[in-house]
């Protein structure tokens, strides 16, 4: 168990302004994982003041990009050294199965960090655009300023570093507001930043609830908001940013479609959907939660998915054999069970799973659930459930499948399964979504990640993700 009694403010471990604490309990057995202080508005004021001073007058924005690159590279190496510790800690806090947190911390986050480091090394921070007579026109890139990064609980270090690494490489200073559910790992992350040797004021990490989040993003000395979370919260943050004309990037919800074409290898498709639909307990914005199946193979596809869902191992997230663990909170568990009951009431066919408790498991568990005969207008097909619930929707033609895929307020992820990869690419070009694949192919972190429509604004990862933390200045000499 880890107990923190201080917050990481401006690169220093500081006494919190208040006495309130955050206790993190295991969603598996409700045991105490650890505790941290709960950041109050006064703590936010100190963190923003330190970041403002460091950006306006400190050395970090005035270092060369190469000098900043060295420090961030050192941080990335220190983070990688603690991969196994972090994987186990995050799993104990939020219920993510160990296979998933190990993938993120041993592989995914390292690749994500390296893609940003590569992008920064390849960026022309100042370049000559054109010479006209005696006048040279230069393009100069510099950090956007003080960044408020607000992250959720479902993949905390991945979400945090998708924002902090590019911001720091660009010369920004950052306040990370971490989620109460994963407060402990947030301050372990602070330990790693502390060891990496960033200058004073550059990094603050403060766990807190929603009210403190709003105080932070509303702060007049914050220049940019970087948020990952629900679409509802994103709309509120966008309104605040609009009122204050702040830069903002929003990575929000999804209800992504997986299109299975008639010629698809069904074994490969179902095997891929196990990960795409139920990975991280289904508590993933990118989850492929709508399967669009051709009527000619509909019952065959439903039957194959039924076998896959019923074979999913549910249990203790620390067990390497567990595929789906508990939901992060009891209210999240009840919310998902409510959607399962709603699906039955809407007239969908409950193929397997259901809202009943799982015998022998006392934590926040939900049965992996499959619905068939779903109409795309049903709420279980339109609303983000954020849990292990999959719906299968029939289509008649490929144009019909594209229409159904686009018939959503969201546009974050999705894919197509087909024997003809070139044709699959042709189909996906018609779908309005930002992070897609043919036959489950993994995307490089060098490519941009983000959504259309209510799935957000802006992009993360690679060069485009880095550019989101810069301002472009034209200088004529």
Residues identified as active-site: 251, 285
Please give the DSSP secondary-structure letter assigned to residue 405.
H
- Using an 8 Å Cβ cutoff, are 451 and 256 in contact? no
**Largest Cα span, the chain:** 80
What is the residue-wise DSSP string for 99-127? HHHHHIIIIIHHHHHHHHHHHHHH--SEE
Measured CA to CA in angstroms, residue 48 lies from 54, 58, 146, 267, 369 at distances of: 10, 14, 8, 52, 44
- Rounded to whole angstroms, the Cα distance separating 449 from 459 reads 5
- Rounded to whole angstroms, the Cα distance separating 112 from 159 reads 10
H/E stretch holding 379? helix 379-382
Q: Tell me, letter by letter, the H, E, C secondary structure of 428-449.
A: HCCCCCCEEEECCCCCCCCCCE
- Using an 8 Å Cβ cutoff, are 139 and 474 in contact? yes
Measured CA to CA in angstroms, residue 236 lies from 63, 89, 395 at distances of: 35, 31, 36
- Using an 8 Å Cβ cutoff, are 241 and 247 in contact? yes
């Amino acid at each position: 168990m880890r107990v923190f009694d201080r917050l990481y403010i401006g690169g220093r471990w500081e006494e919190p302004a208040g006495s309130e604490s955050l206790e993190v309990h295991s969603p598996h057995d409700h045991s105490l994982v650890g505790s941290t202080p709960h950041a109050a508005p006064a703590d936010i004021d100190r963190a923003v003041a330190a970041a403002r001073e460091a950006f306006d007058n400190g050395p970090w924005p005035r270092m060369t990009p190469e000098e900043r690159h060295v420090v961030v590279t050192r941080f990335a190496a220190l983070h990688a050294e603690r991969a196994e510790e972090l994987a186990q800690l995050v799993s104990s806090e939020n219920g993510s199965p160990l296979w998933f947190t190990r993938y993120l911390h041993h592989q995914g986050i390292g690749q994500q960090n390296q893609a940003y480091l590569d992008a920064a090394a390849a960026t022309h921070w100042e370049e000559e655009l054109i010479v006209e007579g005696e006048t040279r026109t230069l393009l100069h890139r510099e950090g956007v300023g003080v960044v408020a990064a607000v992250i959720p609980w479902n993949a905390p270090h991945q979400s945090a570093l998708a924002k902090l690494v590019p911001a720091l490489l660009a010369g920004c200073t950052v306040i990370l507001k971490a989620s109460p559910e994963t407060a402990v790992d947030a301050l372990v992350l602070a330990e790693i930043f502390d060891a990496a040797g960033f200058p004073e004021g550059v990094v603050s990490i403060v766990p807190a609830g929603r009210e403190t989040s709003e105080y932070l993003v509303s702060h007049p000395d914050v220049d940019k908001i970087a948020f990952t979370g629900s679409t509802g919260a994103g709309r509120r943050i966008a309104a605040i940013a609009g009122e204050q004309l702040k830069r903002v990037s929003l990575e929000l919800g999804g209800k992504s479609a997986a299109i299975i074409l008639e010629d698809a290898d069904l074994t490969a498709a179902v095997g891929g959907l196990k990960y795409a639909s139920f990975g991280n307990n289904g508590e993933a914005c990118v989850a492929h939660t709508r399967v669009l199946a051709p009527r000619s193979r509909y019952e065959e596809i439903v039957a194959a998915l039924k076998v896959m869902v019923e074979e999913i191992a549910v249990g203790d997230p620390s067990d390497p054999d567990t595929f789906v663990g508990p939901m992060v909170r009891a209210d999240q568990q009840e919310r998902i069970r409510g959607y399962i009951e709603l699906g039955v009431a809407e007239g969908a066919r409950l193929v397997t799973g259901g809202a009943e408790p799982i015998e022998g498991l006392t934590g926040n568990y939900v049965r992996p659930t499959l619905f068939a005969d779903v109409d795309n207008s049903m709420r279980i097909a339109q609303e983000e459930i954020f849990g292990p619930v999959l719906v299968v929707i029939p289509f008649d033609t490929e144009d019909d499948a594209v229409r159904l895929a686009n018939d959503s307020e969201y546009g974050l992820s999705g894919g197509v399964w087909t024997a003809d990869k070139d044709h699959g690419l042709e189909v996906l070009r018609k779908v309005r979504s930002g992070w897609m694949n043919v036959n489950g192919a993994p995307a490089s972190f060098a490519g941009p990640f983000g959504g259309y429509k209510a799935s957000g604004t802006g992009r993360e990862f690679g060069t485009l993700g880095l550019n989101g933390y810069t301002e472009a200045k034209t200088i004529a000499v």
